[in-house]
Structure 1
Amino acid sequence: MVTEVYVFAVLILSSFLQTATGFGYAIITAPLLALVLGPKETVMLTMLTGLIIRLFMMRATKHDGSFKAIFPLITASIVGAIPGAYIMTMISNDGLKLFIGIVLLIAVLALWKNYKISINHHKFTEGIVGGLSGFLATTTSINGPPIILYYLNSKAEENKSVFRGNLTRYFLLINIASIVISYFAGTLKIRDLWLQTLLSIPALYIGFYLGEKAFHRINSETFRKASLVMVFVSSIALIGAALSKN
């Protein structure tokens, strides 16, 4: 019973942050659920519940952002998700988590100090960023940081409504693609998770409702700092998860 209450509370928190900022769901959900659930169960439950909260958010962001804007990123992400699902069936990803966590930590510190990288070839960059995000989606379920850092570097957060709308569309599509790919790869067993997923809906809605109220009270600078803090938390969580197994 304690585990169920804990999971319920985690889902309220993560859906609140997802709704208020446009991202952060897996960043919060995966590390916290991993404390009480198995690693693969955590990844798959995060995928399934993430799909639900993003469907809620599509109604709230139906006039913000566009699928056309995120098409290059989502195409690259689907390509990256396929080898990720294959690797998930073969090897441990602790070393990968450690590497990604360190890289993200460096990137967050650079962005916090307003260090910018000039992007001359946006299509190429979107391909790399999208592919990495897709790979992370099927191996760790934490696929947001590369996309968030890319958007922040291009100052997309200046219009927070469009930023949130584009992120919602991106995460919805990669969520669906990851679930389908994981299912056919044999790592997603819906019959073992359908009840937990169904019971999560009230928690997800509570978080969504509170997050939607908070979103309209966040200014652009606060939004930017919250974004960087989320990626920082993600990097620390990934490093901690990897080192705890050693």
Structure 2
Amino acid sequence: MEQLAIGAVALFVASTIGGMTGFAASLVSTPALLFLGFGVPEVVVVNLTATLVTRIGVLIRLRGQVDRRRVLLLAAGSVPGAVAGVAVLGRLDEQALRIGTGVVVTIAGLVLLLGGRRISTRPGTPATAATGLLGGFLSTTTSLNGPPVAVLLDRCRLTPTAFVADFAGYALVTNAVSLALLGAQHRIPAGVLWPVLPVLVVAALVGNRLGGLLTSRVPAATFATIVKLLVIASGIATILS
């Protein structure tokens, strides 16, 4: 019970940050849950479910801000990526996969922080679909499907509200597909379904609501910097976890 209680606090904090930035909840919660002793498969299911549930309300609230074409491209690309991720599960060493993901995430964050805004061209259709593909693969293997999409949305120079809205649309489809694929392949641990999942999801909902109230109060420049620093920090934390 102590592990579950501390895990709920970790999900609350992570979801508060995720509610404010739109994407970082899994990045913050993953190292914390792994440190607490939760297994990788359990962490993946918890993160995918918590993000899915919290993004529903966000998408309803911000549906008028969603770029439907961009979200459809990201979501369409994520489906084959998620299928590929499920196909390689069990064939890849979990530690190597986690470290490799952390390295890629850290590099992406550094590129954003040091020179991302110098890129004059916005991502086109191929880049958007490819980003969705990578996000889908990371979704079913590690649940860390946020960084690639965050990098792409940052290049689109969106307002904080539009950023959160587009990511919510992408995450809703990608996470639902990922959970369905994992369930079909019997890769959802039975032990995580009760009482772990309900408790952690409720904590995520409360934290997300609090973070959502802060989104409109964060200046755009500050928001962009927070996104980049969170990407870097999550990459390093994933490597060390």
Decide: shared fold, TM above 0.5: yes
**Contact (CA 8 Å) 2:98, 2:238: kept in 1 or not?**
yes
**Cα drift, residue 97 of structure 1:** 2.7
- The answer to whether the 8 A contact 1:70-1:170 is kept is yes
Task: Provide the residue aligned with 1:15 in structure 2.
Answer: 15
Tell me the amino acid that sits aligned with residue 31 of structure 1: P
Contiguous gaps of at least 5 residues in structure 1: 242-246
2: CA distance between counterparts of 1:191 and 1:96?
Answer: 23
> After superposition, where does 1:1-246 map in structure 2 within 5 Å?
1-36=1-36, 37-115=38-116, 116-117=118-119, 119=121, 122-156=124-158, 159-189=159-189, 192-241=192-241
User: By how many angstroms is 1:138 displaced?
Assistant: 0.4
**Given the two structures, how large is their TM-score scaled by the length of structure 2?**
0.91
- 1:179-214 deviation line (CA, Å, top 9, x unaligned): 011111221245741432222343123212311221
Query: Mind listing any 5+ residue stretches in structure 2 that lack a counterpart?
Result: none
Shift of 1:98: 2.3
Report the CA distance shift for 1:199/1:103 in structure 2 as closer, same or farther (over 3 A). Answer: closer
| 51-60 vs 173-182, greater mean Cα deviation | 51-60
- Following the alignment from structure 2 to structure 1, what is the Cα–Cα distance between the partners of residues 75 and 62? 18
CA contact (8 A) 2:82 2:136 kept: yes
Give 1:7's aligned amino acid.
Answer: G
Number of residue-to-residue matches in the alignment: 239
Give the distance between the partners of 1:120 and 1:215, measured in 2 at CA. Answer: 24
Q: 1:118 deviation in Å?
A: 5.4
Q: 1:121 to 1:213 in 2, by over 3 A?
A: closer
Deviations 1:63-118 (A, max 9, x none): 32143331111111111110101211333232233233223322322221234445
Query: Alignment identity in percent?
Result: 25
Contact 2:54 2:204 in 1 (8 A): yes
Native 8 Å contact 2:108 2:232 kept in 1: no
Contact 1:66 1:169 in 2 (8 A): no
Q: Aligned partner of 2:225: which letter?
A: K
Deviates more, 1:50-59 or 1:7-16: 50-59
CA contact (8 A) 2:122 2:156 kept: no
8 Å CA contact 1:75–1:130 kept in 2: the answer is yes
Q: Deviations over 1:158-194 (max 9, x none)?
A: x221111011111111010100111112212457414
Q: SS at 1:113's partner residue?
A: helix
